[in-house]
Chains A and B, each alone.
Chain A
Amino acid sequence: MFKAVSALQGVSFNDGIAEVRELGLRGMITLRGDLADKKLIKAVKGFAGRMPEPRTVALKDDNIAAWMSSDELLLMVPHEDVSSTIETLNASLQGTHFLAANVSDARGVFEVIGPHAREVMAKLAPVDFSPDAFKMGMFRRSRLAQVPAAFWMNEQDAFTVVCFRSVAEYMFDLLSIAAQAGSEVDAL
């Protein structure tokens, strides 16, 4: 059996206006189906405590359910729990039209923390990051510079960024450069 490793193996950048680090392995499951289906809602409630509203994220302990589109959720669990979670989903959704696919190793996950985290994000994405516009619990898919990404806040001034694994190095370089020392804009 091979040993799973994340794209950048936990690399971090600490010398700037915000701390950037790769969060290592995280279990991710794409769940597609009819989001209004009772069985699916029940399964998601069992997983994350509640069904996430459009463009939001539901968190319960280590489990995260994020609204990706009108027919897709992204479920996040500790990396070692992926198989058992998929088995649970397969069992509870039997008979409905759905897909639960393990996409853990197709993704890179980063965290941007610090009082200037909003600024670092705002430099890269065409999204309003002012505290009145981007709030806790919101989940946004957009782009960071040239690559697609999804992000939300786990706590104040702590963004989690999910991107494709193939662009993880680009993403880390991007976030590190946007966070370089002395690059505060103080616009937000």
Chain B
Amino acid sequence: MLILDCPCCGVSGEETEFHAGGEAHLKRHSVGSTDDQFEEYLFMRENPHGVHLERWRHNNGCGKWFHAARCTTTLEVFGTYSAQTYEPPQEIKDAISARRPGWSWRNFS
């Protein structure tokens, strides 16, 4: 069971109050992209054993989207952050580093 803090409304809720929205920070390749880029966007997903960045929606609450950084093995939540960003903010990276030194996820570390 995950306990997530919604950064939009400030509620600390358990995961049935939220809905998972898949991998975070995908670039939406479309018009003008190569076939390889489009394939990457459509099908290629991380499936890590450890640190993972995801999108979540507070569907039984304020209804807003946000990002969460968590561990897929232990279900530990490192932090949640705004959806309006292309990469995790420094304090989230620091929080992950404090618990999982040397972590990397796609091109973030």
The residue among B8, B16, B17 with the most chain A CB atoms within 10 A of its own CB is B17
The A-contacting residues of B in range 1-50, CB under 8 angstroms, are 8-11, 13-14, 16-17
Residues of A within 8 A of B16 (CB): 126, 143
Q: Is A142 an interface residue (CB 8 A)?
A: yes
Q: Are B10 and A148 in contact (CB under 8 A)?
A: no
Q: How many residues does chain A have at the interface if contact means C-beta atoms less than 8 Å apart?
A: 13
Minimum C-beta distance from B59 to chain A (A): 8
From known contacts A69-B62, A69-B64, A148-B60, infer whether A142 and B10 are also in contact, taking CB-CB under 8 Å. no
Name the residue of chain B whose CB is nearest to the CB of A143.
B60
Residues of A within 8 A of B59 (CB): 148
Q: Are B9 and A70 in contact (CB under 8 A)?
A: yes
From known contacts A126-B14, A126-B16, A126-B17, infer whether A142 and B9 are also in contact, taking CB-CB under 8 Å. no
| Cβ-closest 8 pairs across A and B | A69-B62, A143-B60, A141-B61, A148-B60, A126-B14, A70-B8, A142-B60, A142-B17
Q: Interface residues, chain B, CB within 8 Å of chain A?
A: 8-11, 13-14, 16-17, 59-64
